[in-house]
Structure 1
């Protein structure tokens, strides 16, 4: 928690049995672990605890007021006590069988916490035989599941007059109030927590107040405490990025000022098309960065077709004019070949060398010789560029295309190939627009350039949604693909899986033997070897394959200007950004293009609405924000897949822009004034996260 941790073992603070139970149920070992288990909701006077948001079968905990008690007998003689409960948003029932004590404890007007498995009967929510804990009011006694509280003292004292009752994420064997009792005891034994920043940030509560108040707020509610803890998370990220920027400033890079009558000038004066205003702006930014003695670290984001390639070539030629080499790292061999062709087509005045893993031995040997001797001005390659056997004569600029396709280690190793201790300048490019908050956090150490305009001649892509519950529309979609191919165009059919129903192999077989039997249908998926995939994509690019059935391996692929229609089957299985990236594979020529989003989702379901949102706009930046709404990834450092502790727990990357913006600014000031304090404050970040940040 930003420079502070409570390393006390649960077993040293809590009763032994409770400590072991918490560790078994939640995996927590220290008091710090448990204090970070923040409530999912807070109930004030039994209101607003989100029972309505739960699904059938979920274990729910809620606080409510008993508004009616009814007793009746079943045909087999069982006595049923049915309570009607209002939690402030939802009215539901709780049923108890042969439990006379319930009517003694729970009466109309009683306020209690209930925990049990949610069921629905005729659409109405109900709990069967839930555990309960009566919350005492003035002059009342606590009752119900008090065992957790009796371990820590008088239950009445602990439960009476709570302004807000915290409701924790719980399990079947670890009820919310059991967690609440343990956390309350830990906080009572916790010494005042010093302010890690030296002084309380203006407008915030103290760190000590936040740690306590996020669990047990006073009349002010949880919001001020949540805001402070969110600020701390954002500040931690901001400090890491500011420290990285400081580290970059301490390195030296070859200064690469533009040459008046060099390759760069000749390219710009000979382009057969007009640059957009955005391209001119970014070129000026790159020119300024490359002219400095500090390493450039810049992210260039722009839609597919926005002209990133020509902008990167201008930057590379500026480096070549200054006597340095450039490396362009691309994710696939097909893309390497495409980049080499595109760059050569744009300008033939420099030597461009391709390097891939599958090159013949003689060709690879010659390429390596050209690179180490300095004959190669621009080297375009796959991961093969990163190998130790690749030595550059004088590397001045590294360009990474589709940066999300490469691990942090790979980018770092390529950038380490500079000469005489110099750090090459770095330009990373992405066609996946990045939300503002992500740009400030994950890419906060990079300057960001953006291309929003599309060059003249690009036609908008029409997008339609074709639901499975409208079979006539599905048949029309297949016919529409056939019409495009009949007109001399090509098509993609994207499937969410390789095998099974709706998979690539099945769809390829059905389409090839059925509606498209008179066309050449190919398939592509991730289990094919690199050579097989490259061969299929090359045949498709050459027009030898009319319809390509594929998984998302085509998401980043070769340009096929003749491909004008794409059918994405079961689009509900793909994320927002992924759908947009896939759609960008068509519409790359001068022809009108169509993307068909097929879906099995039910009408008006969340998945159905998400797909329709994607179809309704082609603005990738708007869709990036939409993607964040649906994904809400907690770990902005990118380590969530590795099972490490999440660095961001409370911060909402969509809604907390103002907090992130302020924390980022404050972090820059703090690093400028007190860099050692900043380094100490970020030591808590998980080692894997630190490695990610240091190399990303």
Structure 2
């Protein structure tokens, strides 16, 4: 008997308690609607075997392959056997992928030569080969002389669902196969309004559920997938539109401009004119802060585009109106850097004793490693209102941090923080404070609409006057080994001109410590000569399983002190494991010109501002993402002198990661790079999913491929929610949002 499917119905009602329990444990799915929306990631045609040369390392995969051979041998050190299965793909050649079963009695009987099977497991690296150990598998019918039903099954596409180690794709398929016949899908309300569905030429919902899960041919599922792409985009954008409407309903303390006060004094002293883009955004932010509901704005712009000045003007406006501003930075080095740059911009305007005074305000720093006395002084300044601007790290989130009247939160590099941290800071205000989120990581428009869709987005694209161009070159040492010495000779030329040099490494370099250098194949730690010299350290990207040593700060410092070209220069290290005082002292010494070559990790990636630094050498540059490389090189050329960035790599020509380096060298447009980065990498990484260890939160959408669709869905959602904020007239869309918003996707939506 078919049942009308209430999508909120517990799955156990239709598939049994034991099955439902397993699904919830392994897939975090508990309702009928969530299960119906567990869509296949892709489809396999039995005649098109998986390309086994392109399997990613350290990921759960499902592959379709044919068995060539199976050999069983006894284990050497304990009782039992190992069965090695040789498989092939469309190439017809035995694959380099090794499949092994320990005491695989069932596999020995079933995986005979010629058998077609799906295997599911995690790809690991063993003995230099990609491997699947004890994978789950299922045999597939493949006999052209089989019975009629088997013939039908043999030509049907095989859906491949998201899998876990304990719940392979075909187990999800078994649950779906049991679920669909029990449902009267024709009675499921369509969350997409009829007029929009007609405009988009969407397949009927009941048919789409059938074709997405049980397509008869490879031509059947694409239209179903297109329907659910739009449906997902509409649900996502409607949820974000509701958040924007909710923000407009909140009351905030208006912070209007105060003529003749601190902001005007600051503007009069500013030694340069704002760019047209800065002025436009400053005016917009000023209007929003003066309103009676909280501003929620994302400000993104290239490294050095002047975001800090925009933020400082907003903070001064709030201070003039009697409030306080909190500036949240992701690292202590960056917090200290912001303090120094803001104090330098304010001069004596940042030394005032009273909140909202006519001439000045206090700016204080609050970090976790401050001495007790200094920390207590900053806490008192924030709680009493003496400090108009409080700059800090995660220490600002502590329970004992209080503000007299918190009116504005500025978050620098929001992707380094979670929603819980941002909300903790918001809770320290009597009324919802204004929020300005800044990022120097360029974000393509559709990513911004998806990742930060509850924020209004502004972009700074014009660099301030005085910023010199940055030239970037790839130094491929596998092709030109002699270029290593030229890299350091080039560094000496900059130093002799009175300039300074950054050398960036992907590791710190302690033996076996977190982030330490890799051990060689014999289990010994790589020597400084091999681990630090870029000509020897030829690591490829982390995803390809290359376990060769890569450059570490500690080894590189020692090595550079032996390089003849750098004889007599002052070379020091900076990394995250130094204590706060040492980090700040080293940065201050570098900023003052007391260090010629600073060898560092990516601790200098964001916000570090040393105008005399003109050269950056990035060792094992292929270990960094494109956006990260773009951020790093933005640290040079900030003082009017031309900047140069050398991307040193040991990778051979033609390696995929070389394409990323060539792309970075080809353009200084961060938005172009962000788009290329998105095309080359998995979207989940771009959207920050690795922060939580999960996927991006998007089921069917691709933020690049579906750019136009997402924009249409955003316009539709804005109109729907504008007329019906509670979605009382759109109950099916509201249910779709509730189904879509799993705990992971809630966090994804809140990440802005």
Structure 1 residue 428 corresponds to structure 2 residue 426: no
Query: In the alignment, which of 674, 682, 689 is matched to residue 737 of structure 2?
Result: 682
1:36 CA displacement: 5.2
1:485 CA displacement: 1.4
1:463 CA displacement: 0.5
Structure 1 residue 526 corresponds to structure 2 residue 576: yes
Structure 1 residue 458 corresponds to structure 2 residue 500: no
Inter-CA distance 695–141: structure 2 relative to 1 (3 Å threshold): closer
Hey, what's the Cα distance between the residues in 2 that align with 1:432 and 1:398? 19
Hey, what's the Cα distance between the residues in 1 that align with 2:27 and 2:94? 27
SS at match of 2:502: strand
SS at match of 2:738: coil
Inter-CA distance 525–191: structure 2 relative to 1 (3 Å threshold): same
Inter-CA distance 182–272: structure 2 relative to 1 (3 Å threshold): closer
Hey, what's the Cα distance between the residues in 2 that align with 1:637 and 1:463? 26
1:364 CA displacement: 4.0
Aligned to 2:416: 405
CA contact (8 A) 1:51 1:60 kept: no
Aligned to 2:448: 439
Query: In the alignment, which of 394, 414, 417 is matched to residue 405 of structure 2?
Result: 394
Query: In the alignment, which of 573, 589, 606 is matched to residue 539 of structure 1?
Result: 589
Hey, what's the Cα distance between the residues in 2 that align with 1:590 and 1:384? 35
Which has the higher mean CA deviation after the structures are superposed, 482-491 or 443-452?
482-491
Aligned to 1:197: 191
CA contact (8 A) 1:279 1:311 kept: yes
1:108-149 Cα shifts (integer Å, max 9, x gaps) = xxxx9655799xxxxxxxxxxx98644577xx534xxxxxxx
Aligned to 1:296: 295
Aligned to 2:264: 265
Query: In the alignment, which of 504, 509, 526 is matched to residue 553 of structure 2?
Result: 504
1:410 CA displacement: 2.5
Hey, what's the Cα distance between the residues in 2 that align with 1:172 and 1:389? 43
Aligned to 1:75: none
CA contact (8 A) 1:252 1:293 kept: yes
Aligned to 1:616: 666
Which has the higher mean CA deviation after the structures are superposed, 528-537 or 560-569?
528-537
Hey, what's the Cα distance between the residues in 2 that align with 1:23 and 1:395? 42
1:306 CA displacement: 0.7
1:291-336 Cα shifts (integer Å, max 9, x gaps) = 2101001111111111112122222222233222222222334433
Aligned to 2:458: 449
Aligned to 1:658: 708
Query: In the alignment, which of 603, 621, 632 is matched to residue 682 of structure 2?
Result: 632
Q: How many residues align?
A: 640
Hey, what's the Cα distance between the residues in 2 that align with 1:131 and 1:693? 37
1:248 CA displacement: 1.1
Inter-CA distance 661–53: structure 2 relative to 1 (3 Å threshold): farther
1:498 CA displacement: 1.7
1:340-359 Cα shifts (integer Å, max 9, x gaps) = 33333333242132122344
CA contact (8 A) 1:408 1:692 kept: no
CA contact (8 A) 1:3 1:683 kept: no
Hey, what's the Cα distance between the residues in 1 that align with 2:112 and 2:385? 86
Hey, what's the Cα distance between the residues in 1 that align with 2:118 and 2:745? 36
Inter-CA distance 483–249: structure 2 relative to 1 (3 Å threshold): same
SS at match of 1:432: coil
1:452 CA displacement: 0.4
Hey, what's the Cα distance between the residues in 2 that align with 1:624 and 1:176? 32
Which has the higher mean CA deviation after the structures are superposed, 5-14 or 298-307?
5-14
Hey, what's the Cα distance between the residues in 2 that align with 1:478 and 1:10? 69
Structure 1 residue 8 corresponds to structure 2 residue 2: no
Hey, what's the Cα distance between the residues in 2 that align with 1:480 and 1:620? 26
1:186-223 Cα shifts (integer Å, max 9, x gaps) = 43333316035274533212332222211333565321
Hey, what's the Cα distance between the residues in 1 that align with 2:590 and 2:266? 31
Hey, what's the Cα distance between the residues in 2 that align with 1:588 and 1:333? 22
Unaligned runs of 5+ in 2: 69-86, 96-107, 124-136, 350-358, 510-516, 518-530, 532-550
1:53 CA displacement: 6.0
CA contact (8 A) 2:336 2:365 kept: no
Inter-CA distance 346–459: structure 2 relative to 1 (3 Å threshold): same
Aligned to 1:308: 307
Aligned to 1:327: 326
Aligned to 2:51: 51
Aligned to 1:372: 383
SS at match of 1:683: helix
CA contact (8 A) 1:248 1:294 kept: yes
Aligned to 2:545: none
Hey, what's the Cα distance between the residues in 2 that align with 1:228 and 1:178? 25
Hey, what's the Cα distance between the residues in 1 that align with 2:25 and 2:93? 31
State which structure, 1 or 2, has the greater radius of gyration over its C-alpha atoms: 1
Hey, what's the Cα distance between the residues in 1 that align with 2:669 and 2:690? 28
SS at match of 1:655: coil
Hey, what's the Cα distance between the residues in 2 that align with 1:576 and 1:686? 31
1:376 CA displacement: 2.6
1:177 CA displacement: 7.0
Query: In the alignment, which of 637, 649, 659 is matched to residue 699 of structure 2?
Result: 649
1:93 CA displacement: 5.8
Aligned to 1:78: none
Q: Following superposition of structure 1 onto structure 2, how do residues 466-485 of structure 1 map, counting pairs within 5 Å?
A: 466-469=475-478, 470-485=480-495
TM, length-normalised to structure 1:
0.80
CA contact (8 A) 1:467 1:474 kept: no
Unaligned runs of 5+ in 1: 70-83, 107-111, 119-129, 143-153
SS at match of 1:675: coil
